[in-house]
Amino acid sequence: MPTGLVVNELLTNALKHAFKDREGGTITLHSLVDDEGCRVVVADDGVGLPQGYVWPRLGKLSNMIVQSLRQNANAKVEVGAEPGGGMRVTIFFTRASALSAS
């Protein structure tokens, strides 16, 4: 699955869910490519996830995307979230994995 589609889905989720009942907030997209590989981070300062909520949820598009990244690009996906503190999704894949998945 192309990284662009993944980033689009993460940004869409942030726009739809992060700033409910708020005027706005900040969404950050950060990418770093180095000798180890590529790291893409999408973070927001929105409402965060409710206590005990697991993301991504089974049967949802975001779960299918994460599973595809793990299987096809050997990507590592980390999710950090605190209620009221926003959410951060970090995707990391090696250069070799990125080239073989394209």
- Sign of the dihedral through C-alpha 97, 30, 27, 88: positive
**Fold of the CATH domain 3-101:** Heat Shock Protein 90 (3.30.565)
Give the DSSP letter string of 85-99: S-EEEEEEEEHHHHH
pTM for the full model?
0.81
Q: What is the pLDDT of residues 80-95, one digit of tens each?
A: 876 568 999 999 988 7
Q: What is the pLDDT of residues 41-75, one digit of tens each?
A: 999 999 888 778 777 778 887 778 878 877 877 88
Q: Kindly give, in sequence order, each residue whose CB lies less than 8 Å from that of residue 98, ignoring residues fewer than 6 positions away.
A: 3, 37, 38, 73
Strands 37-44 and 76-81 come out as: unpaired
